Amino acid sequence: MKFTKTLLLFLIINFGALGLGYLLMNNGPQSNWYLNLNKAPWTPPGWVFGAAWNTIMLCFSFYMAYLYLALPNTRVKILFTIQFILNVIWNFIFFNQHLVGLGLIVILALTSVVTIFLYDYRRQQGLKSLLIIPYFLWLCIATSLNLYVLLYN
Domain boundaries, the chain: 2-152
* More confident position, 1 or 61: 61
Q: Give the pLDDT confidence of 96-147 residue by residue, as tens digits.
A: 999 999 999 999 999 999 999 999 999 999 999 999 999 999 999 999 999 9
Residues 6 or more apart whose Cβ sits within 8 Å of residue 59: 131, 132, 134, 135
CATH T-level topology, domain 2-152: Ferritin (1.20.1260)
Q: Is the dihedral of CA 14, 18, 23, 24 positive or negative?
A: positive
d(CA 138, CA 135): 5
CB 17 within 8 A of CB 88: yes
Q: Give the pLDDT confidence of 33-83 residue by residue, as tens digits.
A: 999 999 999 999 999 999 999 999 999 999 999 999 999 999 999 999 999
d(CA 25, CA 95): 5
pTM of the complete model: 0.96
d(CA 153, CA 148): 8
Q: Is the dihedral of CA 44, 7, 71, 16 positive or negative?
A: positive
